Amino acid sequence: MKLSAQWSIIPTAIATVFALSGLAASQPVSISPGSQSISLSGTSGGTRKDAGCAGYIAKMPNHTIQVTADTNLRLSLQGAGAPTLLITGLQGQNICLQADKLSKGKIEIPGRWTKGTYSVFVGDRAQGQNPYTLSIAPQKR
């Protein structure tokens, strides 16, 4: 009986590890000209201290955005705590913004996005972990 109870713990532990690792990996989102607006959500923060402006971020990006052709987009982040938004893009370029008290946890980035893949990290300056919503919308010139 004891042996059988111990063996049932191992598959449960393995399943838990795979489930948690799936949460850490970001699913790519594809954006093309004329796409509909999309809304993504998650939890900000992490254990990795970013030396730049992003505060504490996760080891893996919260989201991966693939822009299929040059297009105008508006990214809007709404979150609790002290949210930051770090986007790494083509050739190691970084965009990093912080919400301030006046914005009440909102960060917006409008502009022209070049075809390519971007990693999005939603951090927290105070090492908190808070819910957020990231909206990506096409924008007219």
According to DSSP, the residues that pair with 84 across neighbouring strands are: 98, 123
Token couple for 70: 């040059």
Q: How does pLDDT run across 38-93, given as a tens digit for each residue?
A: 999 999 999 999 878 889 999 999 999 999 999 999 999 999 999 999 999 978 88
CA–CA dist 134, 7 (Å, integer)? 42
What pTM, to 2 d.p., does this model score? 0.79
Q: 138, 45 in Cβ contact below 8 A?
A: no
Domains of the chain, start order: 26-138 (2.60.120.380)
pLDDT at residue 21, rounded to an integer: 37
